[in-house]
A and B are shown apart, each in its own frame.
Chain A
Amino acid sequence: MKEEVEKKKYKVPFWKTVRKHWMLLAMLAPAVIYVVIFSYIPMTGIVLAFKNYQYSGGIYGSPWNGLDNFKALLVAGKLGQVTRNTLLYNIAFLILGVIFEMGSAILLNELLGKRFKKVAQSFMFLPYFISWVVAGAIMYNIFNYEKGVFNHILALFGAEPFDLYNTTWAWPIVLIFLKIWKQTGYGSVVYLAAITGLDQEMFEAASIDGASVWQRIRYITIPSLMPTMMILVLMGIGNIFRGDFGLFYQTVKSSALLQPVTDVIDTYVFRLLINNSDIGVSAAAGLYQSVLCFLTITVCNKLVKKVDPDYALY
């Protein structure tokens, strides 16, 4: 590790560093305080998962109840379903996300028409600008049973109207489509930034040497996007058990019929907390989620590190 090498080299005493860099430390202070309050202190709040929360006692004063919350969670019987949904949706988002984002970055880079490129990019960025509330309004506009545009188009072809809100099988398709629709513009810019940062002479040298466009994409562009892709994929893996709350909450609303295919851990925890005020059980579900995420990313990062340390996230 780099840090250890540095330590051995200099062996600067703690207080000397503090005195030398007090200004830098002061500049870090706002972020450090923020993270301590909003991330590290809540981490200690996971004790709630093992407590019978009472208002008078608060987080730390309530009595312990062992694994009762987890037992209640298992008895409720939803955990398997929401975990499966979260995992499958996120895998789909991750794989299709990489394909669409990287693909459109490469294609945008090959486009010769400057104005077309600019306009297309602006259009692709539009969905990223809206909140999930607005995206929900768009869903309503398109898929409303009586008034929706989708059924209009079906009617033009003489097809039967389609009732999305009573059709469970269609939801994974719609939600995956919506997610890709919303994030591709942003993601493609991340990859495009990586392409623009490349040494352009490499491309020129390749075409002088007679490489075809396909070869150039295959052997220069894609390999050079790998570091960016690995960061994004590993970050995605680190959140693989965290559902995009806005997406599921604003589009599905509270339809019980659709829950088997649209309920994710985050919406489940939210319902337990806000609707049922079931603090202990929802804290247990949240802890289960955090531990799953942490284990996944730790294992994946270790594996990546073994294969190629340059690609590891940390």
Chain B
Amino acid sequence: MRYIKEVQNMAAITAHHKKLPKDQMAVNVISYILIGLFALICVIPFYLIIVASFTDEASLIRNGYPLIPTNLSIQSYLLCLKNPVSILKAYGTTIGVTAVGTLFSVFIATMTGYVLSRKDFPWRNKFSFFFFFTTLFNGGLVPWYMLCVRYLHFKNSYIGILLPLMFSVWNMIIAKSFMNGIPSAITESAKIDGANDFVIFMRLILPLSKPLLATLSLFAALAYWNDWYNCMLYITDENMFTLQYYLQRILGSAEAMRIVAEKSGIALPSIPLESMKMAMTVIATGPIVLLYPFVQRYFVKGLTIGAVKG
């Protein structure tokens, strides 16, 4: 891979020196414009939210959400931090659930993917289809919900936010496709040396799968961090809310009003509700976005999808 990149770089450099052919120049310019435009559309909303979260409430009410930063203030963040117990609790829940959930979900997805990528395992296609079938047909929301609430007792239990996201067939397919690309000679020679399958997987295959691990960890972490659905279905205890569900409640104005009034003792009219909504949005999004730079370099390599069969 590194070799290919170098060749590409060299090609790019020599192309620059030689002066690009006209058509290549045209495609390059078009790419710059279109990609640049789309990238801008992608970030601008984030910029708007951050600006709004730092804007003085009075100016927000008078002028609405600003395009350009004016009347800056950190009041809304201070208020979020003034009585941070519920925010910190939601943070704690989300971080804990994300850490545990990601660990398990990546482990199960890669282990399953590895077994299904083993060419000497005669039932690999049957098992692949056994998993894949669940994406083709399912019982729908109701039986699943009834099972979770009535028989597995998910109501107000962390299991209810952990388990529903723990295994994804899609991630398993990504793992399997990646491991199809690892030479089977590695497994075979280790088998001759007497290692068992689990040891081979842990000691040899996983260390060779860093791009895959990075990619799957990011997906799993995102799924857990951004989950509000399972929390909405199963959790009614305020102390167990996840960050996103907490934010969802804050965004409903009345709820935000109640929380602030209760926790800070500030008279209602002076509460910076609008900027606080935006500040909470920033607080709830922040950390997970910071993950991306660490996994970016693995990303393109880790994300190969292959067929279910074979």
Contacts and interface: CB of A to CB of B under 8 A. Distances in A.
Interface of A: 2-3, 6, 10, 12, 17, 21, 23-24, 26-28, 30-32, 34-35, 37-46, 48, 58-59, 103-104, 107-108, 110-114, 116-134, 136-138, 140-142, 144, 146-149, 151-153, 181, 184-185, 189-190, 192-194, 196-197, 200, 204, 212-214, 217, 227-228, 231-232, 235, 238, 245-246, 250, 266, 269-270, 273-274, 279, 282-283, 285-287, 289-290, 293-294, 297-298, 313-314
Given A2-B310, A27-B111, A27-B115, A48 B146 contact: yes
B67 A153 contact: yes
B140 A59 contact: no
B140 A104 contact: no
Given A26-B198, A118-B296, A127-B42, 4 more contacts: A31-B108, A108-B35, A141-B45, A152-B64
A283 B277 CA distance: 36
B143 interface: yes
Contacts of A104: 34-35, 38
18 contacts: A40-B134, A42-B138, A43-B137, A112-B12, A112-B16, A126-B46, A129-B288, A131-B244, A134-B285, A138-B48, A193-B302, A196-B301, A200-B7, A214-B23, A214-B27, A279-B142, A298-B136, A314-B132
* Contact-residue bracket for chain B: 35 or more
A27 B197 CA distance: 9
Contacts of B9: 114
Given A126-B289, A213-B23, A134 B167 contact: no
A218 B58 CA distance: 56
Given A38-B164, A290-B138, A110 B27 contact: yes
A45 B146 contact: yes
B19 interface: no
A104 B37 CA distance: 11
Interface string B136-158: 11111111111100101000000
User: Chain B's interface: helix, strand, loop or mixed, by majority?
Assistant: helix
B143 A46 contact: yes
A133 B111 contact: no
Nearest to B37: A120
Interface stretch (B71-79, B82-90, B119-127): B119-127
B309 A2 contact: yes
B141 A269 contact: yes
B257 interface: no
Contacts of B16: 112
A138 B45 contact: yes
B304 A193 contact: yes
A273 B145 contact: yes
Contacts of B95: none
Given A107-B34, A313-B307, A294 B136 contact: yes
Given A231-B307, A250-B248, A108 B31 contact: yes
A176 B141 CA distance: 24
A120 to B, nearest CB: 4
A59 B143 contact: yes
B226 A131 contact: yes
A127 B226 CA distance: 12
B251 A184 contact: no
A293 B136 contact: yes
A313 B34 contact: no
Contacts of B67: 149, 152-153
Contact of A120 (B35, B48, B229, B278): B35
Contacts of A146: 64
Contacts of B32: 111, 113, 116
B222 A129 contact: yes
Nearest to B199: A23
B167 A34 contact: yes
B65 interface: yes
B8 A200 contact: yes
Contact of B197 (A24, A108, A266): A24
